[in-house]
Amino acid sequence: MTASARSAFHGHGGTAQKAVRMFTFHREWPEAISVYMQGLNTPSRRDPQGAKAGWLSRSSEQPNRDVAFFDAMLAHLEREFRVDRTRVYATGHSNGGGFTYLLWAERGDVLAAIAPSAIAPTLEPAKLKPKPVLHLAGRNDPLVAFERQEQTMKA
């Protein structure tokens, strides 16, 4: 039997352990292979020195170590399990959501759908192949204005 594979990406300053508690895919969908990946220290607008863990979320950051990490993770899963290549999903919160959008742009042929939250990426919509998306946004988000996220959802 083949299984779906879902990867989840924490926000900047987060950890894989926090993502396990936040997303809980392994409990909600136990038949799927759930992977909670740990980012490396990464500079960001609020953390220019890169003291906290996160994800590279721009195509210009090439070679993108985090896209390569995703590729290696998926290849490992395919060696160890029977992964249904038509049911590979990605989700992420905040900076992890930005990385999820980057995966859509860079690995859109691999992903069946994405579900980012609390992010307004700087990617050009033309780089994104049509695919199912669940974008979660809060009107009172203190870091990412709802209006910017709404523009992303409309695009």
Distance in angstroms (rounded) separating the CA atoms of residues 64 and 61? 5
In terms of C-beta density within 10 A (0-12 exposed, 13-18 middle, 19 or more buried), how is residue 63 classed?
A: exposed
Q: How many CB atoms lie within 10 A of CB 91?
A: 21
- pLDDT reported for residue 126: 77
The reported pLDDT for the residue numbered 116 is: 96
Q: Can you give the pLDDT of all 155 residues of the chain as single tens digits? A: 689 999 999 999 999 999 999 999 999 999 999 999 999 999 988 899 999 999 998 777 667 899 999 999 999 999 999 999 999 999 999 999 999 999 999 999 999 999 999 999 877 777 888 999 999 999 999 999 999 999 888 88
Q: State the Cα–Cα distance between residues 52 and 12, nearest whole angstrom.
A: 7
**What pLDDT does residue 96 have?**
96
Q: At what angle do helices 95-107 and 65-80 cross, to 10 degrees?
A: 70
DSSP SS3 for 13: coil
Identify which of 125, 76, 91 has the alpha carbon closest to the alpha carbon of residue 105.
Answer: 125
Q: Say whether the peptide bond before residue 63 is cis (omega within 30 degrees of 0).
A: yes
| pTM listed for this prediction | 0.93
| Distance in angstroms (rounded) separating the CA atoms of residues 146 and 120 | 9
